[in-house]
Chains A and B, each alone.
Chain A
Amino acid sequence: MKKVLVLGATSAIAQATVRLLAARGASLYLVGRNAANLEAVAQDATTRGAAKVAAQAVDLNDFSAHEAMVDAAYTALGGLDGVVLAHGVLGDQAEAQKSWAATETVLRTNFLSAVSLLTVLANRFEAQKAGTLVVISSVAGDRGRQSNYVYGASKGALNVFLQGLRNRLAKSGVAVVTVKPGFVDTPMTAHLPKNKLFASPDKVARGLLSAADARKNEVYVPGIWALIMLIIRTIPETVFKRMKL
């Protein structure tokens, strides 16, 4: 990935990924909601050695802006060969249970906006017969649990969408990489008590980039989550529904 569009560039995992890409001398088009924060990330990337950095403040929940934003990225970098889709919200499960509006926000941000963006981007990459689409999903999409099934459902739906997209784009030489981080120590999880399973954004970013370089399909980062989720997926539903997870 030499010319990369980063969606949700001010998120902790995206920032860590931007640093690694910048150090490799990549060109970057950074998209986020807050202009001042985006500027800080852009300056950091430039100083760390990115060949070119452009940034645009966009609310990605405004789907009508997607097409023009992708056009702008193509123009600014003179093409694109990579996308890192990193925007998303954790939401509040209790809130979502009470209100459809809260549920809808999670589904719009994590699933629908990703689908809208990937519809535009997949067609371009299919036409140019090259590129890597990296999407940050979550282990939470592997199985619904009472503590976060709305968030989990948004990521689970995303995973199925990505499987289909991967299947469709395989013949065009376009890679679709689903990245499933476990717990990550970021501002998104600042309120949660931390344990040994929490990984740093930097560690997740390294895992993400090596998966993208190798054009992997689905990866768990850190790898230990492949085992944990294997176990969690294997528990029979009759037992699972009585568990407190």
Chain B
Amino acid sequence: MKALESWGRYPRVEQRTQPLVWRTDALPRPGGTLLPHGLGRSYGDSCLNEGGTLLLTSGLDRLISFDTATGVVRCEAGVTLDTLLRLAAPRGWFLPVTPGTKFVTVGGALANDVHGKNHHRGGTFGRYVRRFELVRSDGSRRVCAPDENPDWYGATIGGLGLTGLVTWAEVQLKPISNPYVLQETVPFGNLDEFLVVARESETDYEFTMAWVDCLARGKKLGRGLLYRGNFAPPQFDGLPLAKSHLSHGSGLAVPMDMPAFCLNRLSVSAFNWLYYHRQNGKPKQRLTHYDPFFYPLDAIYGWNRIYGKRGFLQFQCVVPYTTARDALAEILERSSRGGLPSFLSVLKTFGDLPSPGWMSFPRQGVTLAMDFANRGEKTWRLVEELDKVTREAGGAVYPAKDARMSPESFAAYFPRREEFSRYLDPAFSSSFWRRVNPVALPFSLESERGPAASRPQSLLAIR
């Protein structure tokens, strides 16, 4: 047993690991439950399996085929988006959907049905998964596609790794004319302005997302900067290219766990103020390489360590347009009032393109993501309140970013979970799944987990 943590560094749980090497190998059966694990870029406990075994997919990192005429790539599930970009971008193809880091695996992107800055145009990653192979603990292997085992296809996309192991997948890439993005930054003074400019931007821009100054209050509540962009046209002469944008990654690294006092209200508000005012109120255009545009955080390796040893909780919700204004105002209010600054807060609109995945998180409306340093009880209480607001607004919280939602919330957010449960692999489970389904356990929890001391006792009380 090893202590392992996910990207949010909370919780830290004991489990075994088993590296996978070949896609044709049978699933290992070490006893206890299994869970596939990509690069652990999920924040909470959905990629952890306390007391069980993580099947490490990083050895399944082979490419199978790439058709440069059609942009269809087939690869093993542990291949990273970074590898796909290095293969495809020089040949005029790009990921159809990408999350804010390229250090995730194809299997992980499929199992969380990730979204990107283009959700309003392109929907989720799952829409571009043409087919994949699913291996179950009974030894069966099925190819799943929209017209081949469609039920397994729908259950496994967004299926949180619980329906079995995906060994390989085939993804439809999209053509680009060059690796540069023409980006515009537009300041907005408050939440209402955001809603207007975000909706307006959707028609002309493929990519949109906004940074919010989550400490601004009153009339300035929800002010921030909206980034919008399109891949640049084949000719972009005349616009100067910064040298730094021609290369990849700055190679900066966070050298150690930062002490908790580095991230206090004062430092966060100073940072936010400077960041917002750098823009001096006017839209700004520039040409940028796709790398800093899509993956600004990847340039600082191990940035999750700035939150120190106790880690952080991320909270990402989506709320429908009908309730968005009030719910988001309430959420921003509460977090700024709570005196627990979120260092990075991001707003984005989701369109109405459906996902093939039954358990997919994105749905039409506005999504807000916030990071909160884990200060124990206080933080938990705040995030639980935000969850409540989300629930009442008819929204949902993203399992990939969660370490604490209650079983009731989960049931409210994912109406197809009963249907989904019938497709669970009996040998697969996760810490997340057991947490949000405390009654319907497919096995004995006590025998696997041992003494349940690792979680703050008052958590249940908060619920």
Contact = CB atoms under 8 A, between A and B. Distances in A.
Contacts of B66: 47
Contact of B87 (A34, A41, A48, A187): A48
Contacts of A46: 65
B156 to A, nearest CB: 22
Nearest to A15: B62
A37 B65 CA distance: 15
A14 B65 CA distance: 20
B24 A44 contact: no
Interface in A165-218: 187, 190
B62 A187 contact: no
A43 interface: yes
Interface string A34-45: 101100110110
Interface in A29-74: 34, 36-37, 40-41, 43-44, 46-48
B35 to A, nearest CB: 19
B81 to A, nearest CB: 16
Given A47-B87, A190-B19, A37 B64 contact: no
Interface in B63-111: 63-66, 75-76, 87
B22 interface: yes
Contacts, number: 32
A41 B24 contact: no
A19 to B, nearest CB: 9
Contacts of A34: 22
A32 to B, nearest CB: 11
A190 B76 CA distance: 21
A243 B65 CA distance: 52
Interface residues of A, number: 12
Nearest to B76: A40
A46 B62 CA distance: 11
A43 B63 contact: yes
Interface string B26-65: 0000000000000000000000000000000001001111
A187 B24 contact: no
A36 B24 contact: yes
A44 B62 contact: yes
Given A47-B87, A48-B87, A187 B65 contact: no
B19 A187 contact: yes
Contacts of A48: 63, 87
Nearest to B60: A40
Contacts of B65: 43, 46-47
Contacts of A37: 22, 24
B64 A47 contact: yes
A117 to B, nearest CB: 25
A187 B63 contact: no
Contact of A41 (B19, B62, B75): B62
B22 A36 contact: yes
Nearest to A187: B21
B136 interface: no
A114 B21 CA distance: 25
B191 to A, nearest CB: 47
Interface string A124-156: 000000000000000000000000000000000
B22 A40 contact: yes
A41 B76 CA distance: 11
A44 B83 CA distance: 12
Contacts of A187: 19, 21, 59
B23 interface: yes
B88 to A, nearest CB: 11
Interface string B154-181: 0000000000000000000000000000
A145 B427 CA distance: 43
A46 B68 CA distance: 13
B62 A43 contact: yes
A236 B75 CA distance: 52
Given A36-B24, A37-B24, A44 B19 contact: no
B428 to A, nearest CB: 22
A46 B74 CA distance: 12
Nearest to B83: A48
Residue of A41, A44, A46 with most chain B CB atoms under a 10 A cut-off: A44
A44 B65 CA distance: 7
Contacts of A40: 22-24, 62, 64, 76
B176 to A, nearest CB: 19
Contacts of B59: 187
- 6 closest cross-chain pairs (CB), A and B: A47-B63, A44-B62, A36-B24, A43-B64, A47-B66, A44-B63
6 contacts: A36-B22, A40-B62, A41-B62, A43-B63, A44-B63, A187-B59
Given A40-B62, A43-B64, A46-B65, 6 more contacts: A36-B24, A40-B22, A40-B23, A43-B62, A47-B63, A187-B59
Interface of B: 19, 21-24, 59, 62-66, 75-76, 87
